[in-house]
Amino acid sequence: MKKVIIFFALILILSFSVNAISIDVKHSSLPKVQAGAESSINITITNNDYRKEIIDIKTESFENLPSSMFSYLILDKSRVELSSGESKVVNLKFKIKQDVKTNENYLTHLIFTSPSDDSFLLEHRIIIRVVPPEDILDMELSFPDKVEPGRDYELKVLLKNNLNTQIKNARLIVSSDLFNEELGLKFYALQDIEQKFKFPISALTKPGTYNVEVKVLYNNEIIERSTFTFVVTENKDVKEKKTENLGLIIKTYSVEKTNYGNTKVSESYSINLNKFQQLFATYSEQPSSVKGNKVSWVFDIEPNKSHTVSVKVSYVPLVIVLVVLVIIMIVLYVWSSRKLSVTKEILKLREDKDGITELKVLLHIKNKTKKTLRHLSVIEHLPKILEPMKDFGTLKPERVQKGSKGYRVIWLIPELVSGEERIISYNVRSKINIVGSFVLSPTIVRYKGLRGKKLEFESNEVKFSVGKFQ
């Protein structure tokens, strides 16, 4: 009898054990949310029993109390049917109140029951962390520590959303003295985003250290900020352009140096000029030094600027002087070799206490050319106060003409060979006594040159003084 009782007791215990509900409930890792934000969690329910089960799900009853941290908790399913070994996912949507304390963990429970077994009750703990704004995102930056001007560089920004919620209408702002960029962003729950920016560093960027700030704005609040520095290195890039024009009379030398770098540079230029060339050289700017035949300049060039030094060696003044000298020599030669010389002089013949009454005039005509001159006319003009006397020398005048202004005496010389000299003399008497200064006008000699061209030469004029002017 005792054995029968024990047997039935074992059967009863086994029946209760077989009828017990066995389910497994899991959810994703620790949810992180922002105060005032809406989020959701997926809960996975697995039936570990051998038979089909119906499970009811509900949130805690005090969720709507004023003391609750939640504005609401909503399950997309309140009952699930699970076959043996089957798993199903239930989504819990919730919103954290705006005024909850951040940087804290908060606890809530989901209640699991079974309509077929009133004794079944399972409470599943869900811990939710409310993060402060600065913990919403994690940011990593990648940019070279040193950059060279004149090249493009890439800034990589890796952003990680720590929340189980979407982040909409966020703005990523990159700012520095050299470049600026702004971009709209949208994050899904727990999403990582990598943004790449290409920034050109101008060749004229001054060397030095520059700051960069990268920040993310969400709901007009900075939720992530990071800064870094980089160094722009010094770049000395000078290009040189030389030009030369080596003419026979004028020589020019020029050098243009352009600073394509990002810092002021000191440059120099030298040229070799002998002492003779230096006498005729002009410069676009005064040389810094002249040592022997070496002429040198030293100058500074600002970034993106050019400096030109020009040298001009011009023998034009020397050529002009030489040409003038040659012309003078030619003129002197022609003058001395082809000139007809006519000279006049006066001798006093008779003078009394009242002045001069008679004069003797001498005309010297010499052929200094290298050819024979023919048909020469010698013309002498006498003022009204003088009249020629009949006492002429060896050569008698061809004509003696009297006019209203005085006398004109003309001699004809048929031929005057090269180097020959003729002297014509004549006497004049004064109609009145001459006192003081007196001038005789030049004597004119005319003849025909080559091709019948009329040539005319004049003698000197003669001035003399008598009486109280002597």
Q: Which domains does the chain have, with CATH numbers?
A: 20-130 (2.60.40.10), 133-232 (2.60.40.10), 238-316 (2.60.40), 339-469 (2.60.40.740)
Q: Name the nearest CA neighbour of 359 among 331, 328, 387, 325.
A: 387
**Which of the listed ranges 51-65, 274-288, 346-360, 428-442 does the model predict with the highest average pLDDT?**
274-288
Split at pLDDT 50, 70, 90, the class of 2 is low
Query: What integer pLDDT is reported at residue 230 of this predicted model?
Result: 92
Tens digits of per-residue pLDDT, 5-26? 555 555 444 444 445 788 999 9
Pair of tokens at residue 227: 């800064």
- Please answer whether residues 157 and 27 qualify as being in contact, where contact means their C-beta atoms are separated by less than 8 angstroms: no
Average pLDDT, the chain: 84
In a 13 Å sphere around the CA of 367, the CA atoms on its Cβ side amount to 18
Split at pLDDT 50, 70, 90, the class of 36 is confident
What share of the chain has pLDDT > 90, as a percent? 31
Full DSSP string of 153-205: EEEEEEEEE-SSS-EEEEEEEEEESS-EEEEEEEE-TT-EEEEEEEEEE-TTP
Pair of tokens at residue 226: 């990071």
Query: What integer pLDDT is reported at residue 333 of this predicted model?
Result: 62
Split at pLDDT 50, 70, 90, the class of 406 is confident
Pair of tokens at residue 425: 């003399």
On the question of pLDDT at 423 being above 80, the answer is yes
Query: What integer pLDDT is reported at residue 17 of this predicted model?
Result: 43
CA 271, 277, 282, 288 dihedral sign is positive
Q: Which residue has the higher pLDDT, 31 or 107?
A: 107
Q: Which residue has the higher pLDDT, 267 or 65?
A: 267
Split at pLDDT 50, 70, 90, the class of 337 is low
Q: Which residue has the higher pLDDT, 392 or 437?
A: 392
Query: What integer pLDDT is reported at residue 336 of this predicted model?
Result: 56
d(CA 420, CA 366): 6
On the question of pLDDT at 360 being above 90, the answer is no
DSSP 63: G
Label residue 448 exposed, middle or buried (CB < 10 Å: 0-12, 13-18, 19+).
middle
Query: What integer pLDDT is reported at residue 434 of this predicted model?
Result: 63
Query: What integer pLDDT is reported at residue 325 of this predicted model?
Result: 92
Pair of tokens at residue 245: 């024009």
Taking the whole predicted model, whether its pTM rises above 0.75 is answered as no
CA 199, 200, 202, 208 dihedral sign is positive
Label residue 107 exposed, middle or buried (CB < 10 Å: 0-12, 13-18, 19+).
exposed
